[in-house]
Chains A and B, each alone.
Chain A
């Protein structure tokens, strides 16, 4: 296992288009988190899953954002009708229930033009 994998690494899209990112967590980790990081800021929590259940969503996650983890393994984050303000690094992390530390992926950098 090589850690948390995120694809694509970079995505440039036109405003108004839909985009989807994928995260593959560490295989034995049952918790998966999505964060958003803008330049010069710390990661901001978006949502998290325990197995396939989405247990918490931030108020940052508008109705244009949706996340899924259908079989409790990989997860997808979709942004509909992208806006320039959505430009950011989208980070995925995973952990094992009962442990505290997260392992982050390298992120997907989204640029909306």
Chain B
């Protein structure tokens, strides 16, 4: 059962552009929504995370927008750079469970 749906599957953005990746969730008990970045041959690394009591969180060029009523959240990467080329996973975790559930991933390529 896929509880976190992610789109698009792949994304190509020009250098300097804005990359946007979207996720939707089903379980209203989720209370923590992280984004992970994964490079080939490496494990996922936490990029940024948000709790549902705020609508936006920004860290440098990375912003999470959160819409609790729509049960959707998105990652925006401003001024995208070639070094941002990686696979990005949205995820969610419920307060009563310890495990994090991942989306299926978005392969982002930034064209120079």
Interface residues of A (CB under 8 A from B): 4, 31, 33, 40-45, 48, 50, 55-56, 91, 93, 100-107
- A101-B102 contact, Cβ under 8 Å, with A42-B89, A106-B42: no
A59 to chain B, nearest CB (A): 10
* Chain-A contact segment, one of B13-21, B76-84, B92-100: B92-100
Q: Say yes or no: B89 contacts A48, CB within 8 Å.
A: no
For chain B, which range describes its interface: under 10, 10 to 19, 20 to 34, or 35 or more residues? 20 to 34
- Majority SS of interface residues in chain B? strand
Q: Given the complex of chains A and B, what is the CA–CA distance between A93 and B91 in angstroms?
A: 15
- A100-B32 contact, Cβ under 8 Å, with A4-B43, A41-B105, A43-B89: yes
Q: Given the complex of chains A and B, what is the CA–CA distance between A103 and B34 in angstroms?
A: 12
Q: Which of A31, A45, A106 contacts B43 (CB 8 A)?
A: A106
- A43-B93 contact, Cβ under 8 Å, with A31-B98, A33-B99: no
Which residues of B31-54 have CB atoms within 8 Å of chain A's CB atoms? Answer: 32, 34, 36, 41-46, 49
B11 to chain A, nearest CB (A): 14
Question: Is B104 at the interface (CB under 8 A from chain A)?
Answer: yes
